[in-house]
Amino acid sequence: MEPPTLAPKSSKTGGGAFFMDKQQYLNNLRHSCAHLLAAAVTELWPDTKPTIGPAIENGFYYDFDFSQSLKRALSEEDLPIIEEKMRQLLPSWDHFEKREVSPEEAKEIFKDNPYKLELIDEIVAKNEPITLYKAGNFEDLCRGGHAESPVTEIGALKLLSIAGAYWRGSEKNKMLTRIYGTCFPTQQELDNYLNQLEEAKKKDHRKIGQDLGLFVFSDLVGKGLPLFTAKGATVRRELERFAVDEEIKRGYQHVITPPLAKVDLYKVSGHYPYYKGTMYPPMKIDEEELILRPMTCPHHFMLYKSQMRSYKDLPLKIAEVAQQFRYEKSGELSGLTRVRVFALTDSHIFCIPNQAKQVILEVLDLIDFANSKLGFVKGQDYRYRLSLGDRKEEKKYYKDDAAWDKAENILREVLTEAKAPFYEAPNEAAFYGPKIDVQIKNVSGKEETAFTVQYDFVLPQRFHLKYIDEDGKEKQPIVIHRSSIGAIERTMAFLIEKYGGAFPVWLSPVQVQIIPIADRHQDYGQKVLEQLKSANIKAEIDKRQESMQAKIRDAQNQKIPYMIIVGDREQNENKIAVRTRAGQDLGVSSIEDFLTRINSEIESKA
Tell me which residues touch a copy of itself (CB under 8 A).
Answer: 171, 213, 216, 218, 220-223, 225-230, 232-234, 236-237, 241, 244, 249, 253-262, 264-265, 268, 280-281, 283-288, 290, 292, 298-299, 302-303, 306-307, 318, 320, 323, 327, 329-330, 340-341, 533
Rounded least distance, CB 197 to a copy of itself, Å: 27
Smaller CB distance to a copy of itself: residue 329 or 338? Answer: 329
Rounded least distance, CB 280 to a copy of itself, Å: 5
User: Rounded to whole angstroms, how far apart are CA atoms 278 and 271?
Assistant: 11
Q: Give, for 264, the enclosing helix (H) or strand (E).
A: helix 263-269
Rounded least distance, CB 373 to a copy of itself, Å: 18
Rounded least distance, CB 165 to a copy of itself, Å: 12
Smaller CB distance to a copy of itself: residue 201 or 241? Answer: 241
Q: How far is CA 141 from the centre of its chain?
A: 34
Smaller CB distance to a copy of itself: residue 164 or 421? Answer: 164
Phi, psi of 257, deg, nearest 5: -125, 160
Amino acid, res. 128: E
Smaller CB distance to a copy of itself: residue 298 or 525? Answer: 298
Rounded least distance, CB 486 to a copy of itself, Å: 17
Smaller CB distance to a copy of itself: residue 264 or 368? Answer: 264
Q: CA angle, corner 416, sides to 410 and 419, nearest 5?
A: 140
Rounded least distance, CB 336 to a copy of itself, Å: 12
Q: What is the DSSP string of 180-242?
A: EEEEESSHHHHHHHHHHHHHHHHH-HHHHHHHTT-EE--TTT-TT--EE-HHHHHHHHHHHHH
Smaller CB distance to a copy of itself: residue 235 or 453? Answer: 235
Helices in 445-590 by DSSP H: which ranges? 459-462, 488-499, 522-534, 548-557, 568-573
Strands 447-456 vs 283-285: parallel, antiparallel or unpaired: unpaired
Length of the chain equals 606
Rounded least distance, CB 263 to a copy of itself, Å: 10
Answer for the pair 591, 528: CB distance below 8 angstroms, yes or no. yes
Smaller CB distance to a copy of itself: residue 296 or 387? Answer: 296
Answer for the pair 30, 55: CB distance below 8 angstroms, yes or no. yes
User: Rounded to whole angstroms, how far apart are CA atoms 366 and 364?
Assistant: 5
User: Rounded to whole angstroms, how far apart are CA atoms 165 and 95?
Assistant: 30
Rounded least distance, CB 431 to a copy of itself, Å: 21
Rounded least distance, CB 296 to a copy of itself, Å: 11
User: Rounded to whole angstroms, how far apart are CA atoms 335 and 209?
Assistant: 9
- Say what angle helices 230-249 and 488-499 make with each other, to 10 degrees: 110
3-state secondary structure 286-303: CCEEEEECCCCHHHHHHH
Instruction: Using alpha carbons, list the distances in angstroms from residue 343 to 154, 295, 552.
Output: 45, 10, 35
Other Cβ atoms less than 10 A from the Cβ of 325: the count is: 19
User: Rounded to whole angstroms, how far apart are CA atoms 297 and 302?
Assistant: 9
Smaller CB distance to a copy of itself: residue 225 or 606? Answer: 225
SS3 assignment, position 440 = strand
User: Rounded to whole angstroms, how far apart are CA atoms 513 and 540?
Assistant: 5
Rounded least distance, CB 528 to a copy of itself, Å: 17
Rounded least distance, CB 544 to a copy of itself, Å: 9
Answer for the pair 5, 158: CB distance below 8 angstroms, yes or no. no
Smaller CB distance to a copy of itself: residue 81 or 175? Answer: 175
